[in-house]
Structure 1
Amino acid sequence: MSVTTAAHATAAQAAGLDALRRQDPEIADVILAEEARQASSLQLIAAENFTSPAVLAALGSPLANKYAEGYPGARHHGGCELVDVAERIACERAAALFGAEHANVQPHSGSSAVLAAYAALLRPGDTVLAMGLTHGGHLTHGSPANFSGRWFDFVGYGVDGESGLIDYGQVRALAREHHPRAIVCGSISYPRHPDYAAFREIADEAGAYLIADAAHPIGLVAGGAAPNPVPYADVVCATTHKVLRGPRGGMILCGAELAERIDRAVFPFTQGGAQMHTVAAKAVAFAEAGAPAFTAYAHQVVANARVLAAGLLTEGLTVTTGGTDTHLITADPAPLGVDGQAARSRLAAAGLVLDTCALPWGDARGIRLGTAAVTTQGMREAEMARIAVLFGVVLREERDAREVLAEVRELTRTYPPYPG
């Protein structure tokens, strides 16, 4: 994106905020305060990133006004000629980016994408094998509070107690015992690459569909920094935010033989009208992810995560699997005398924003963090080493959180999310 285009997008956003201030100052204040919060603290939540001004411009465009139930050329509303173009572009770009025969870009979220995949391939009561929730599985992988746990019979596989790595022997044994209709590979807190070929072999042996929930690594896949699940999985579900750096939303990739089933599972079975402003923003993000600069970015995300993980180990935290292959790190702060919930609170007070997560041992919660957003800001290995030291200082309570916050704000001034 050219500097001129970025400037025009920023100017348009500023004009929109001026109008909002006049009409609804209360909501304008919330938006401005959130903008300030993001710009004055480090966003280390593994599922978050900063979109480009171009993506934001598409999200705030008049496409938000258009109702477009159905698919290009077969809508249930008139006046869809132009949004049809946007959706076709988004689908073509997604399919080309990931080497898929078919892409559906309408899912409103990653969970919506997974719901549609289940709807296309399963019937209520079917058995599904997925990563157990305490080992890193997502809510859509069988939580009793989620549609998945209520509609299907989930069996959970886990990680090895010593290495923290997926126990593929256990996966195979469970598949032989339970004969699942589908196997799900993917998690929200597993920092290593899944062995998609091993999952494919186990699924074929069990006569099961293989669903890859690639919400977290799909951006790394786009940048060539993680293995691509598309050649192995029957269906790949993903988000378009996180490392991919697009708008909040989901997508589904599959082969041509499942295209119609997937499309009908998205609409009309699980969703109504597509959010066309979001679809257009996804198209923008796919184009950005296909550029050489994004490849460099994705590899820097991983390099940063490895340095940050090594730094946390040096500071005394227990890092699961001993490190990471991705943007994501999970760690146990217990050796520093604090649990995950307390660690998150202490770190937040110092401007270090992250999540807690389940750990694959005991009932304690750890912390989950990622390097996608800070890498978007331009930070590299030296900054990651510095951040790791700040973690240790805060968790050991060696300095007042306000002093550390001042240091964090120095970093964000040097590396702002959206340079002026």
Structure 2
Amino acid sequence: IAMFGGSVFLFPHPVKELADFLKGHNIHINYDAAHVAGLIAGGMFQDPLREGVDTITMSTHKTLFGPQGGLVLAFEKYAEAIKKATFPGLTSSHHIHHMAAKAVAFAEALEFGKEYAAQTIKNAKVLASTLNDLGLKILGEKKGFTQSHQAVVNVLDYGDGGKIEADLEKANIIVNRQLIPGDIKAKRHYMHPGGIRLGTSEVTRLGMKESEMKQIASFIKNVIVDKKDAKDVAKQVAEFRKNYQKTQYCFDNKLGAYEYVKLR
């Protein structure tokens, strides 16, 4: 089996270029779309099944905004084998209480997915390029930094990814520590890698656009480069976020983004 995908997914993978070779050697091709499913659904990323993969595995709760769960997409000839492997082979339940929420999420992806995916990618590009202009080292500069919702920052000039992640969290900015090229060779531990990973999926869902990405980049620089007091930055971030409390790209944007819906 050949696997495409990754937790860092800045650019489309070379599926077209390798599919014929792999199939010529009777190798099954799977594409892990966990991080980019919403971008694919919106037609703004590569189209793996049409580019030659046999199956796609994906989550329903990252760029595709549903409850936690997973999906396997495939051509009909694999259907029975996948069904048997999934149940009773690997799982005992498909969590029926998730089904309605997933149906709504998929319907919203059909209705708003293209606009959402396009803005998410625009936001990631602006966030990455602004951070680069502010002096941070962003991976993928020669290719335009990113074609997805992610950006990756080399933070070795200022510490390690674990420390920077913690510093930013104190300032109300959530990122992931991230292994980057060179970390393994340098024997850096995955808890203290050379980079951090940023994503624009949630802030886009809250209605933020390019100008807001520039402000977010400034907040990040204040913490990483300028070493400003995290508590002061946290207050600024909280004030900034007051204007973005409603979910967008959805059927009902009147509810607060983090409010529970009362059914009765």
TM-score normalised per structure 2: 0.86
User: Match for 1:378 among 207, 210, 214?
Assistant: 207
Name the structure 1 match of 2:67. 247
Name the structure 2 match of 1:326. 148
User: Match for 2:160 among 322, 339, 348?
Assistant: 339
Alpha-carbon offset, residue 317 of structure 1: 2.1
Matches within 5 A, 1:353-392: 353-362=174-183, 363=188, 364-392=193-221
Q: The residue matched to 1:329 in structure 2 has which SS?
A: strand
**1:68-113, Cα deviation, whole Å (9 max, x unpaired):** xxxxxxxxxxxxxxxxxxxxxxxxxxxxxxxxxxxxxxxxxxxxxx
Which structure 2 residue ranges, 5 or more long, are not aligned? 248-254, 257-264
User: Match for 1:405 among 234, 242, 246?
Assistant: 234
Bigger radius of gyration, 1 or 2?
1
Letter in 2 for 1:340: G
Letter in 2 for 1:358: L
Letter in 1 for 2:159: V
Contact 1:185 1:199 in 2 (8 A): no
Contact 1:359 1:365 in 2 (8 A): yes
Count of aligned positions: 237
Contact 1:318 1:333 in 2 (8 A): yes
Measured on the aligned residues, the alpha-carbon RMSD in Å equals 1.4
My pick for the range that moved more, 187-196 or 198-207, is 198-207
Name the structure 1 match of 2:122. 303
Letter in 2 for 1:196: V
Contact 2:38 2:113 in 1 (8 A): no
Name the structure 2 match of 1:210. 29
Q: In the aligned structure 2, how far is the partner of 1:269 from the partner of 1:303?
A: 41
Q: In the aligned structure 1, how far is the partner of 2:134 from the partner of 2:161?
A: 16
Task: Give the fraction of aligned pairs with identical amino acids, expressed as a percent.
Answer: 33
**1:271-304, Cα deviation, whole Å (9 max, x unpaired):** 002200112221111111000x321111000000
Letter in 2 for 1:394: V
1:273 aligns with 2:93: yes
Q: In the aligned structure 1, how far is the partner of 2:39 from the partner of 2:223?
A: 30
**1:335-365, Cα deviation, whole Å (9 max, x unpaired):** 3x22101110111111001111111213333
Alpha-carbon offset, residue 202 of structure 1: 3.0
Contact 1:317 1:331 in 2 (8 A): yes
Q: In the aligned structure 2, how far is the partner of 1:190 from the partner of 1:221?
A: 12
Letter in 1 for 2:2: I
Q: In the aligned structure 2, how far is the partner of 1:223 from the partner of 1:334?
A: 35
Q: In the aligned structure 2, how far is the partner of 1:267 from the partner of 1:318?
A: 46
Q: In the aligned structure 2, how far is the partner of 1:312 from the partner of 1:366?
A: 14
**1:299-331, Cα deviation, whole Å (9 max, x unpaired):** 000000000011121222221212100001111
TM-score normalised per structure 1: 0.55
Structure having the larger proportion of residues in helix:
1
Contact 2:9 2:148 in 1 (8 A): no
Alpha-carbon offset, residue 218 of structure 1: 1.0
Q: In the aligned structure 2, how far is the partner of 1:278 from the partner of 1:202?
A: 39
Alpha-carbon offset, residue 417 of structure 1: 4.5
**1:236-281, Cα deviation, whole Å (9 max, x unpaired):** 0000110111111100000010000001010010000220011222
Matches within 5 A, 1:37-116: none
Name the structure 2 match of 1:83. none
Q: In the aligned structure 1, how far is the partner of 2:106 from the partner of 2:34?
A: 15
Q: In the aligned structure 2, how far is the partner of 1:215 from the partner of 1:273?
A: 20
Letter in 2 for 1:218: A
CA separation of 1:202 and 1:319: change in aligned 2, threshold 3 A: farther
Alpha-carbon offset, residue 196 of structure 1: 1.7
Matches within 5 A, 1:84-233: 182-231=1-50, 232-233=52-53
Q: In the aligned structure 2, how far is the partner of 1:262 from the partner of 1:234?
A: 12
Higher relative contact order (CA 8 A, sep 6+): 1
Contact 1:199 1:210 in 2 (8 A): no
Name the structure 2 match of 1:282. 102
Alpha-carbon offset, residue 190 of structure 1: 2.7
Q: The residue matched to 2:237 in structure 1 has which SS?
A: helix
Which structure 1 residue ranges, 5 or more long, are not aligned? 1-181
User: Match for 2:135 among 312, 316, 337?
Assistant: 316
Q: In the aligned structure 2, how far is the partner of 1:394 from the partner of 1:215?
A: 30
Name the structure 2 match of 1:262. 82
Letter in 1 for 2:126: V
Q: Which portions of structure 1, spanning 4 or more consecutive aligned residues, are displaced by more than 6 angstroms?
A: none
My pick for the range that moved more, 213-222 or 357-366, is 357-366
Name the structure 2 match of 1:349. 170
Q: The residue matched to 2:10 in structure 1 has which SS?
A: coil
